[in-house]
Amino acid sequence: MAAMRQRKTETSTDERPIIEKLKEGSSEWETGELLDCIHWIRQVLAIVCGLVWGIIPLVGIQFLLLFMGVNLLVIFVFCRAHLRIDHEDHGGFQILQNEGLMASMALFALRFRPSELFTTLAGDAVLQ
């Protein structure tokens, strides 16, 4: 474990916190750090979209596909425009797009249900 930590610090070129790198749009990313960031950005996006989809309420396969499209587009634009990274330097476009995608889809589905239930219960309370 200590050897792995030592190797990681030796190969790291940029020791700034990840939050600073995200704010600045730095292109100096290790692949592991970048994949972790993409994963967690997708999870936050899934929670936000799940709540919005549930409050509006948007249901059906077309809105699930819309979420998937939004999810893919946000990561593509974020990596390309804000971070200014080349996908090929980090394993290719597919690797970056697949990172955290299924987990975010699952989280989106889990957050979708409670918010849908909440709007249904709130609607029933208003009718009574």
Q: What is the pLDDT of residues 35-87, one digit of tens each?
A: 899 999 999 999 999 888 878 878 788 888 999 999 999 999 988 888 888 77
Let me know: does 23 contact 78? Beta carbons within 8 Å.
no
pTM of the model: 0.70
Environment class of 95 (CB within 10 Å of its CB; exposed 0-12, middle 13-18, buried 19+): middle
Write the CA distances from 99 to 17, 42, 85, 94, 113, integer angstroms.
21, 9, 16, 9, 24
Share of the chain above pLDDT 90, in %: 21
Per-residue tokens: 58: 């948007």
The helix/strand/coil state of 61 is: helix
Per-residue tokens: 90: 């980090």
Residue that the structure tokens 């070129």 belong to: 13
Residue ranges per structural domain of the chain = 29-123
